[in-house]
Amino acid sequence: MRAHLGDRLVIESPATGVTRRDGEIIGLHHRDGTPPYDVRWSDTQAVTLVFPGPDAHLLHPGHEPGTARDPSRRPGAAGARAGSGAHRSGACHTGDLGRRVAAERERQGLSRAETAHRAKMAPAYLAYLEEHQADPSLATLINLAGALNTTVQALRGGSTEAPPGQGAALPHSRLLDLGPEECRTLLSTHGVGRVAVWTPDGPAVAPVNYEVVDDLIAFRTAPDSVPAAAVGSDTAFEVDRVDEAMGRGWSVLAVGPARPVTEPEDVRRLTEHAHTAPWAGGEREMWVAIRPTSLTGRRIGPAEP
C-alpha cells in the first residue's frame, strides 16, 4: 500500500463491502508512501496513527498534475487557515507539543490572543504551533511555559518513562460505550495489545505485537511463553490508547477461543501481513489466533455541551 497526502483511507467490512469508516491521509511517515499514516477520520475529525489492515484500501483523488486540492476546502481544515497561511506538505497535522499547549491554554480558560500576548508572540504563530507539527526554539518554549504557568518539560511531554494517565482529566468528561464496528476499526490499527491467560502460577497478562486478519486477532510467540498459554481456552485480549495531551482515551476488549495456527498457507499469510517482528526478539514463530465471540469497548471524551 502506497499513499499520497490527501488520499482517502477506506475501511470496509470484508463480508459485506460496506464502508465502516473513512478518513483523509494528512501525514506520511515514509517517503515511499508506505504505512503508517496520520488519518483524520471523517466521522469525528480526530487524527490517529493508522497501520491499515487487510480490510482497508486507498482512494487517490486529485493527484494528476494541476489537480491538487485546496487544503482549506477539506473537512476540518478551518484551523489550517488560522495558522501562518502557508500549507507545507506533511506538516498540516497537529503535533503532541501543539496539543499540549492548546489543552493547557483551554484548561486555564485563556484565549489564543491573551496567551500570545503573555508569550510575546503573534497570535497567528501560536495558532500555527497548536495546529501543526512544529519545532519552536527553546526561547519560544520558555515564553510559552511562562505564559501558561507550566514548565518546558511539561510542554515537551516530560519523561517517556512516566506511566500513562498522569495527565489532568478533562474538566467535563464522559465514558461512552463503543459499538462492534468501531471496536473492529480500532483493533485494525494494530500495534501492541495485551493478552490475559491462565498459567500454572495463576492469571497473567502479557503485551504482544498483534495483527488483525479476516476478523482474527493473531500474534507470534514462543511455545513455552506466557502468551502461548492462551491456546485451547477462552482468552481476553485488550488494546487501548491514551491521549495525554487531550485527556482522552479508548479501550477495546475481545474475548474468544484461542488456537494455534499450523496450516502452512495460513502461517504464510499471517507472516506476510505482519506489520512488525515481535519486539521481544528471539525465536517466536508460533502463531496464535483468537476469534472474538465478544467485542466491547469504551471511550473517554468531552461531555456534550
Give 81-90 pLDDT, tens digit per residue.
Answer: 333 333 333 3
213 and 273 Cβ atoms separated by less than 8 Å: yes
In angstroms, how far is CA 145 from the centroid of its own chain?
27
Domains of the chain: residue spans and CATH: 8-81 (2.30.30), 96-156 (1.10.260.40), 176-302 (2.30.110.10)
This prediction's pTM: 0.51
Alpha carbon distances (Å) from 112 to 73, 107, 123, 233, 298: 24, 12, 6, 55, 32
**38 or 69, higher pLDDT:** 38
Angle (CA) 192-284-269 rounded to 5° is 75
186: Cβ contacts below 8 Å, ≥ 6 apart: 178, 239, 241, 250, 252, 297
What digits encode the pLDDT tens for the residues 218-228? Answer: 999 988 899 99
Helix (H) / strand (E) containing 250? strand 248-261
Which pLDDT does position 292 carry in this prediction? 95
Q: How far apart are CA 154 and CA 151, in angstroms?
A: 5
What digits encode the pLDDT tens for the residues 229-240? Answer: 999 999 999 999
Look-up: residue for cell 467490512? 13
Which pLDDT does position 165 carry in this prediction? 62
Q: Mean pLDDT in the chain? A: 79
